[in-house]
Structure 1
């Protein structure tokens, strides 16, 4: 059964409780408003929402006759947040590596619905899912209103080289490898320029929205190197050029310096993780306009879990200890050096729904709270190449999040989200518990 059919058929059982209100028009009375363009917190504002769009943004109060009024007077309203690096079909646990052989796509589809719901209730109205077979189908189910979740830009399968971070057969024994055969471009594994073009075209055929490559080794893959380069510049260019034919942008997982150089020179839109980012790489990124998505959360999570015996395979454990602990420092250095930074967590490594903790980790790295909030709003929209979200302005999508207090003064407020609106639909209100798709997964 196709995953899209599966997700749709199971949606009644798994879908979250319907959104709170069925009204078409609202007046949100915000105690303060975060202006994503300026990075400033403004005084009281009223936001009028009609038919899923922002219809008016007025200082103070505004005429709310005929509208459903929502009192957010003790809150700061911000544009809905975007996490540019998630994996909604899974979540790290000590059984993750064996689950690959025990779970079916059916199981992953069930789990993904709950993970998507948790992400939305945490204030993330959009995500970029960078690798997973389920995400394009989950995207479609959310877009059709069958399950609740964030707006998804889905990469589908990541593109790797043989033995690379996203080679799906890493760690398989000889018997199983010979039975399955070597993966190729259809599976996201390339070894030439022609393969690179074919892999992108296959992602187009499968309905992806964005292309993800693994430009270096990775922490959690069952392989020794976490940072060796895994593409030539020519292969990266072939991927990027072919992606442009379909209107795709390219995100590059990369930890090592040489792999980052090749990815930037090849024209990728963003570098994900960037652990060993050198001054030379930073200079190249500024020259080429390349974005940096740090994923500090994932680095801290794996470094912490690597201390627990048996949580990761032994081939993974030293990489998690060595690489994971460095990402937060890299993020701080990149910001100070003027690299463009956008928000991403690599959630799926850590527990879905805890995404906002990345804001706190960013500020600990020396990134101002206002800049961190911009990274998940207006800057994330720039990375995605869209202009209808990321700000609270007339005509834009009514994606709005509210937190108590002032998150620029106290960034920990981001962990207390109690209002979520996506496309003008209310999913969470102050004083109510967020809808949950299921028990903890």
Structure 2
């Protein structure tokens, strides 16, 4: 477990402070490594960042020695599935697992994610509202995990990527009926958004094309009209929510971007017209390279996926990395996201190396998981940089990730909202 909750209020009503002595502090905005800095934390916020090593000011204050570490803002993964867990035959889980089973398993994966340095995640859809309950339990300090912004149940067309009845027998299809996340036509799309808002979602996720891990025949064809997507976007906007869009094929991407979604997830088959349109509209791209590589590797294991999945995983999975490089060169805004849950939780930082190999400078991959990700979430006042007023989400690594990006796989200190969860 962690290292305790926020310190109790001291004598006279003053809160004790924590002074973090940082040997190297990365200013993600400028890209500069600042030496010998002190971050001052009070309750759940950063109250100052000072040059030199500042001594503790009061008897209840404490000092954390990070003088041999590189210190960064807490990392943000903009595409995870906290209730998903990879494994051979995992498509059968919907028939064998109860909501409580998902919840207990997710607690462990949430802890792994947090200890890996990811203090915030955007959960892109799960089962039965359990992801919303997990978010709430973490917010109440009942379990440990990253700060979660969740889509609740992702919205899909009939036969689309999030239609759990895809590929089943007619009897099983009848059993599923018309779930609240399945919507066709503008009116049903508006209702589906309102339903997720009512249930407590923070963000809306839709699928404008098919996917790799569903049982549909095609992962690239468009599945929503531009009119349907616009109905989702406008309704979500009225409710103060942003819309993320799962999309592989180019036509589904273009419809979603024109309709005003905030981000394209995966974007595997985007063409030059997609990239130009995304840059023009300011649409974010969340590549999820590690997931593409993972599913392609798993597809080569006999029986790991259903036959309908194997061909899609082998053809689509390997394309994401090169597409990320093309998008970066074209000036498309890129935020960090991994699709954790498709691969195992806790190794999210593998994405940094894959992004760098795609042609992104190391500092840009880190910005994608900090300041850029905070912008995508609409959380710039709270997250993404080490500045006074921000949440005290602070991580420290062994080594210099600007020189060796694999250092992002070696977190040695993790603090979220002023509470230490890892210290080595």
State the partner residue of 2:374.
381
Unaligned runs of 5+ in 1: 1-16, 431-441
State the partner residue of 1:405.
399
More off after superposition, 54-63 vs 336-345 = 54-63
C-alpha distance after superposition, 1:326-384 (max 9, x if no partner): 00000011111110000000000000001011111111111111000000001001000
Q: Distance in 2 between matches of 1:87 and 1:165?
A: 14
State the partner residue of 2:10.
none
State the partner residue of 1:52.
44
TM-score by length of 2: 0.95
Tell me by how many angstroms 1:179 deviates: 3.4
More off after superposition, 61-70 vs 336-345 = 61-70
Match of 2:256 among 230, 240, 263: 263
3-state SS of 1:73 partner: strand
Q: Distance in 1 between matches of 2:23 and 2:175?
A: 62
Q: Distance in 1 between matches of 2:349 and 2:193?
A: 32
3-state SS of 2:333 partner: coil
Q: Are the counterparts in 1 of residues 253 and 274 from structure 2 also a CA contact under 8 Å?
A: yes
Q: Distance in 1 between matches of 2:65 and 2:176?
A: 58
Tell me by how many angstroms 1:389 deviates: 0.9
Please say if 1:143 is aligned against 2:139.
Answer: yes
3-state SS of 2:406 partner: helix
Q: Distance in 2 between matches of 1:124 and 1:178?
A: 40
Q: Distance in 1 between matches of 2:6 and 2:312?
A: 49
Q: Distance in 1 between matches of 2:5 and 2:255?
A: 49
State the partner residue of 1:134.
130
3-state SS of 2:213 partner: coil
Please say if 1:96 is aligned against 2:80.
Answer: no
State the partner residue of 2:53.
61
Q: Are the counterparts in 1 of residues 209 and 219 from structure 2 also a CA contact under 8 Å?
A: yes
State the partner residue of 1:415.
409
User: How many pairs align?
Assistant: 411
Q: Distance in 2 between matches of 1:249 and 1:179?
A: 32
Correspondence 1:181-192 to 2 at 5 A: 181=177, 183-184=178-179, 186=180, 188-192=181-185
Q: Are the counterparts in 1 of residues 2 and 422 from structure 2 also a CA contact under 8 Å?
A: no
Q: Are the counterparts in 2 of residues 40 and 370 from structure 1 also a CA contact under 8 Å?
A: no
Match of 2:350 among 357, 360, 385: 357
Correspondence 1:329-368 to 2 at 5 A: 329-368=322-361
State the partner residue of 2:291.
298
State the partner residue of 2:20.
28
Q: Distance in 2 between matches of 1:40 and 1:134?
A: 41
Tell me by how many angstroms 1:313 deviates: 0.5
Correspondence 1:156-171 to 2 at 5 A: 156-171=152-167
Q: Distance in 2 between matches of 1:317 and 1:236?
A: 29
Q: Are the counterparts in 2 of residues 32 and 45 from structure 1 also a CA contact under 8 Å?
A: yes
Q: Distance in 1 between matches of 2:340 and 2:149?
A: 15
3-state SS of 2:148 partner: strand
Q: Are the counterparts in 1 of residues 79 and 339 from structure 2 also a CA contact under 8 Å?
A: yes
3-state SS of 1:345 partner: coil
Please say if 1:395 is aligned against 2:379.
Answer: no
C-alpha distance after superposition, 1:235-290 (max 9, x if no partner): 00000000001110000001000000000001000000010111110000011110
TM-score by length of 1: 0.92
Q: Distance in 2 between matches of 1:40 and 1:258?
A: 40
State the partner residue of 1:77.
71
Q: Distance in 1 between matches of 2:6 and 2:354?
A: 37
Unaligned runs of 5+ in 2: 8-15
Give the aligned CA root-mean-square deviation in angstroms: 1.1
C-alpha distance after superposition, 1:285-329 (max 9, x if no partner): 011110000000100000111111111111000000000000000
3-state SS of 1:326 partner: helix
Match of 2:148 among 135, 143, 152: 152
3-state SS of 2:334 partner: coil
Please say if 1:197 is aligned against 2:190.
Answer: yes
State the partner residue of 2:266.
273
3-state SS of 2:307 partner: coil
Correspondence 1:102-141 to 2 at 5 A: 102-132=96-126, 133-141=129-137
**Shift in CA distance, 210/43, structure 1 to aligned 2, threshold 3 Å:** same
Correspondence 1:230-245 to 2 at 5 A: 230-245=223-238
3-state SS of 1:176 partner: helix
